[in-house]
Structure 1
Amino acid sequence: MAVRLHAPATAKAPALVLRPWRSEDAPELAVLHRDAELRRWIGSVVDGEAEAERWVREQERGWHEGDRFAFAVVEEGVRCGPGEVAAGERLVGHVVLKRPAPGGPPGEVGYWTAAHARGRAVAPRALDALTCWAFHAFAEDGLVRLELLHSEDNTASCRVARKCGYPLTAHLPAAPPHFPRDGHLHTRLLTS
């Protein structure tokens, strides 16, 4: 399943492309995961290139099995200087749809943004593109509800969720080890 999604440019940032993770992303992924702020909020941190390669293989497995659709979020043709555009891509984030079997619980979405790309609406643009794709791609499977979970004190994720039409629907108690802090549950319905 070769899927490429697109999110529009803004006045401050170029358009985004969402594409499946590739093995050649591992070195850059390992560098991005050195960011303390990113490590604070995500549950699956990679330490070094070997772990990044394993992580990417796990994302590829998810596509193959049809239960986890992870996208690298990239900017193509990144500006180098005034009027100068470089060829290639720059990794700026990640979005994922965790899709259960048809008739199972709702799907779940997640995301993160690279430190160098924060403040340019990467997460909301990527999440909007993923949400539209998910509801369209899995309509025949009956997908009508997506959930988004984040730590209660992650105010940036709360803003992204609300901006993308995922209202806060519940406060969740911590559930260590996978969810060590109290959290928020945001839900978006197909009719939203």
Structure 2
Amino acid sequence: MRPVRLEAGATASAPALLLRPWRPEDAAGVAEAYQDPVLRRWAAVTVRDEADAQAWVRVQSDGWESGERLAFAVLEARPDGGEGRLAGHVVLKTPHEEQPEVGYWTAAHARGRGVAPRALNTLTDWAFTAFPGATRLRLLHQVDNPASCRVAEKTGYGFDAVLPAAPPEFPHDGHLHVRVATA
């Protein structure tokens, strides 16, 4: 799969965003982002230091190679069109299936500025265009994560069901949100 670069527009309170595949030089930004206890609480993977961050970035790159996990670094766009600070992450998992899954996180400094909804909308629009066989996209989060519920609702992912916990990978009940492709 050939990596792509996507752009999400600016808002009155936040710069435009650039979405591009992760690069090895992004590891320091990932390690910094994972110092945030809020991100660590919801993240499925533990990143303790730059070595862990380098391994995490390699997993994202391997996903592009296999075509099974298309992950994007979400960066603030500079006025000259260059790449600014790391603001988050979005991912499309199993894109060739009928119901792929999306995921995301936002760096602490970027929260409250519409980064997650703008990045997720951009990823969603791209996914439905790039993978016409995908008719529904799924978004999952823990039931006690109201911020993810708000992002899902803002981006048109309607609540579908409560999923029971499946320890050890999913120790708590979850919400399933779904967005359906429009014709």
Same fold (TM over 0.5): yes
Which residue, 102, 105, 114 being the options, matches 1:112? 105
Q: Partner residue of 1:96?
A: 91
Distance, in Å, in 1 between the alignment partners of 2:92 and 2:123 is: 8
Cα RMSD (Å) = 1.7
Instruction: Give the count of matched residue pairs.
Output: 182
Which residue, 156, 159, 167 being the options, matches 2:150? 159
DSSP-derived class of the 1:162 partner: helix
Alpha-carbon distance, 1:179 to partner? 1.1
Runs of 5+ unmatched residues, structure 2: none
Counterpart mapping for 1:26-37 below 5 A: 26-37=27-38
1:25 matches 2:16: no
Alpha-carbon distance, 1:180 to partner? 1.2
Distance, in Å, in 2 between the alignment partners of 1:106 and 1:86 is: 34
Q: Partner residue of 1:168?
A: 159
Q: Partner residue of 1:180?
A: 171
1:43 matches 2:44: yes
Distance, in Å, in 2 between the alignment partners of 1:112 and 1:189 is: 22
Greater Rg over alpha carbons, structure: 1
DSSP-derived class of the 2:102 partner: strand
Q: Partner residue of 2:134?
A: 143
The list of structure 1 runs, each at least 4 consecutive aligned residues, that deviate by more than 3 angstroms after superposition, is 85-88
One-letter code of the match for 1:191? T
Q: Deviations over 1:126-183 (max 9, x none)?
A: 00000000000011xx111100000001000001001111000000111111111111
Runs of 5+ unmatched residues, structure 1: 79-84
Is the 2:141–2:175 Cα contact (8 Å) retained in structure 1? Answer: yes
Distance, in Å, in 2 between the alignment partners of 1:27 and 1:134 is: 28
Q: TM-score of the superposition, structure 1-length normalised?
A: 0.90
Alpha-carbon distance, 1:76 to partner? 2.1
Alpha-carbon distance, 1:20 to partner? 0.3
Alpha-carbon distance, 1:189 to partner? 0.8
Q: Percent identity?
A: 60
